[in-house]
Homo-oligomer: A and B are copies of this chain.
Amino acid sequence: MKTLIRNGLVIPMTGKNDIRKADILIENNKISQIKDSVEGKFDKIIDADGSFILPSFVNAHTHLAMELMRNFKDDRENLQDWLSEIWPIEAKLNDRDIYWASKLGIAELIRNGCTTFADMYYHAWETAKACRESGIRGILGVAIIGDGKVAEKNFKEDATRIKDAADGYENIRIDAAPHAIYTCSDDAYVIAAEWAAENGALLNTHLSETQKEVDDCIRTKGEHPVSYLNRLGIFDRVKTYLAHGVFFDDAELEILRKKDVSIVHNPSSNAKLASGIAPIAKYRTNGMNIALGTDGASSNNNLNMINEMRLASMLSSVSTGKPSALSCYDVIRMATADGAKALGLDTRIGTLEEGKEADLLVMNMKKVNTCPVNDPYSAIVFSSDARNIEYVFSSGEMLLEKGTLTTLDEDEIMKNVTMQWNDILRR
């Protein structure tokens, strides 16, 4: 299968000045050529005149099936109050709920230009099935809340079920995902890190999301969250990405930088739940790799990486007083190349380069909200929205074609999600 994307403005995210008008040839799952003009015979030609072509977005932290709880109990005052409403619902969820909610989440992600997501949730085998059926790339966590016994059980049972559900589909990876230091024991973390190291996986966990979490950690463990996980040897055992990271101090940053740990910034969730504003510009200046995530739809309440980019930029500008501290190019990096790096996928996706997998999107900028363009990076972050996204490719497969999903039936998905959700509320 050969698909040519012709006449677009290629924004490869390999460097700020690498933007150029060029053709892109997709052969099977790869970008085989990027050059001024590609000649030959093709199965499909997309005219991208007036469009941007860029790496599709990497949503490096979400809880996909929380789509079910979108806008539910939305008036809570903080993370803990809100979790106390959410957990009783989560205890009732079944396979069918997760399957349809995952499909809904994937449909929303694709429409918003995202083809890779890092997930941490229950019944993840159903999310694996939804990934396989839709063609999206899923980094699925084996979620753990509890002690070492729970961790062992989940790695034995859940990891196997996820692998079976993937059924040979190559774009699923299974990571270890202990929830947080206030819900998991020391040995749960150690077992998770060991399992991940043995299985070529990464470790995905929440850390330093609220001041309360930090204070509690200091009070109960006598040290800051990063020191605690470092003392357990987590970062030495396995490549780790940390969601939220709102409150890291200089000593923690020093450890994280040395251990090559990435931070996933979740600006909407942190603002909405009044957790705080992570000082991302400072983290980046300290050499940290920063990815971007939506968190779950129930604390956001959408899965839209353009919204996250815009908010990340605005929060950084207003909190530092220095708009240049985090440029539009920087935030798009966070949503693409740096997200791929956080997930250990940077040799495969995250930039547009010959030989990389064809995970990319075509954004039609000939719309009233993006006219005139002037600065392309600003246009993406500040002016564009999902209406501009017309084509989305994942591993060379076209998942969105002229604004229509090719692998998913949205009406069927919405009907089933609504049915499941009404059923959950009655359980």
Which residues of chain A have a CB within 8 Å of any CB of chain B? 67-72, 74-78, 104, 107-108, 111-112, 268, 270-277, 297, 300-304, 307, 310-311, 313-315, 317-318, 320-324, 327-328, 366-375, 378-379, 382-383, 385-387, 410, 413-414, 417-418, 421
Contacts and interface: CB of A to CB of B under 8 A. Distances in A.
Number of copies: 2
B328 A368 contact: no
A112 B318 CA distance: 25
Majority secondary structure, A binding face: helix
A418 to B, nearest CB: 6
Given A304-B369, A385-B385, A268 B314 contact: yes
A414 B366 contact: yes
Given A271-B314, A271-B318, A382-B301, A368 B111 contact: yes
The 3 closest A-B pairs by CB, nearest first: A271-B314, A71-B378, A71-B374
Given A111-B369, A301-B383, A303-B369, 4 more contacts: A77-B324, A302-B382, A371-B414, A372-B418
A372 B68 contact: yes
A300 to B, nearest CB: 7
B302 A72 contact: no
Given A77-B324, A368-B108, A421-B372, A70 B318 contact: no
Contacts of A328: 74
B410 A368 contact: yes
A323 B75 contact: yes
A120 to B, nearest CB: 21
Given A75-B327, A76-B323, A383 B70 contact: yes
Contact of A324 (B75, B112, B314): B75
